[in-house]
Structure 1
């Protein structure tokens, strides 16, 4: 499952916030993003540190571990979506987890994250999710019980050139027409009331 060869992304001007309490995991993540061409990245060892950064810097993408002491990734994303700085409130968030149980995935979805990636992951998988986030056209929803991207996106399908996980995923690419377009007279004839044959 790789990106379409014609797909190009320039991440050099992106401001990425990386949050993980494990220093080694944080350094590996930073190295992967350097490999993606991300020159402006901020590494945080805690959600509290990330909160301070978000109050003073513009961030384009947040990559956050789910399991952290004091404030875990879910609480951080809930804070971001409800109480974070207005300009950062709807920044895309990719959650990272070492245990991708159904409850973990649901918790990530329900706290307002855009996507979740299971550890260990390859740089290619992470890059695919970044591409999905960049092309994601879901509206942001604000309600009493949920703030984040609209969770209903199953039928939209994966971005062009990315193979979906489900066998019934639709492509966002419509493709070329197989037949010539009808002119307006032909359309009108199809819609015109006809006398029924008895």
Structure 2
């Protein structure tokens, strides 16, 4: 998804409650400036995971922007805790995870902890806006099982892989059986395809 920078569309986060978890003062300042530029007024700034957990228990948030927090990856652990916390509605809040580096293992870790999206630093306002809009539009269902809770990790639903049984009630099967109703005659099909003159 790409936004046209010259677009006249209006976007305003004035009514949104946003929790920011960023240990670096400079990183926090950049996030705050970007979000204030989008009209955000209610920003809950947390420098540690403990502060963020305390805030989650007290306030309702609409969006969480969380830093991965260095080599220890405390940010990933926070997102996983959030999803399992059962503190509603915050445990279902969209999470945008940001990291200094995003190799494939970091992206997989972000996906597996329950984040909606992971972004690499440095952040730009247009990139942050694109991700927020993408999260708002995607509407992925939440999945809960023994090893995972969070948005469905599949970006595309292309059905069950060949040779595997479906695990969800609404999974479509790849096998095509015999026709249940009689097939249409070729003459009927041809008549449907012909252009006709219609008088109004």
Give how far 1:153 is off.
1.1
Give how far 1:136 is off.
1.6
Q: Which has the higher contact order (CA 8 A, sep 6+)?
A: 1
Flag the 1:119–1:71 CA change in 2: closer, same or farther, 3 A.
closer
Query: Does the residue aligned with 1:37 lie in a helix, a strand or coil?
Result: coil
Q: TM-score, normalised by structure 1?
A: 0.75
Query: Does the residue aligned with 2:90 lie in a helix, a strand or coil?
Result: coil
- In 2, Cα distance between equivalents of 1:138 and 1:30: 27
Pairing partner for 1:193 from 178, 184, 195: 184
Q: Check if 1:97 corresponds to 2:99.
A: yes
How many pairs align?
162
- In 1, Cα distance between equivalents of 2:140 and 2:11: 20
- List structure 1 segments (4+ residues) > 4 angstroms apart after TM superposition: 68-71
Aligned to 1:9: 11
Flag the 1:93–1:150 CA change in 2: closer, same or farther, 3 A.
same
1:5-41 per-position Cα deviation (integer Å, ceiling 9, x unaligned): 3643321100011111111111111111101110111
Q: What does 1:18-57 correspond to in 2, within 5 Å?
A: 18-57=20-59
Q: TM-score, normalised by structure 2?
A: 0.74
Flag the 1:31–1:143 CA change in 2: closer, same or farther, 3 A.
same
Kept in 2: contact 1:109–1:115 (CA 8 A):
yes
Q: What does 1:117-132 correspond to in 2, within 5 Å?
A: 117-132=119-134
- In 1, Cα distance between equivalents of 2:57 and 2:183: 61
Flag the 1:110–1:148 CA change in 2: closer, same or farther, 3 A.
same
Query: Does the residue aligned with 1:104 lie in a helix, a strand or coil?
Result: helix
CA RMSD in angstroms comes to 2.3
Flag the 1:192–1:53 CA change in 2: closer, same or farther, 3 A.
same
Kept in 2: contact 1:47–1:71 (CA 8 A):
no
Flag the 1:192–1:95 CA change in 2: closer, same or farther, 3 A.
same
Structure showing greater radius of gyration is: 2
1:25-84 per-position Cα deviation (integer Å, ceiling 9, x unaligned): 111111111011101111100111001001111100000000258871110000000015
Kept in 2: contact 1:21–1:68 (CA 8 A):
no
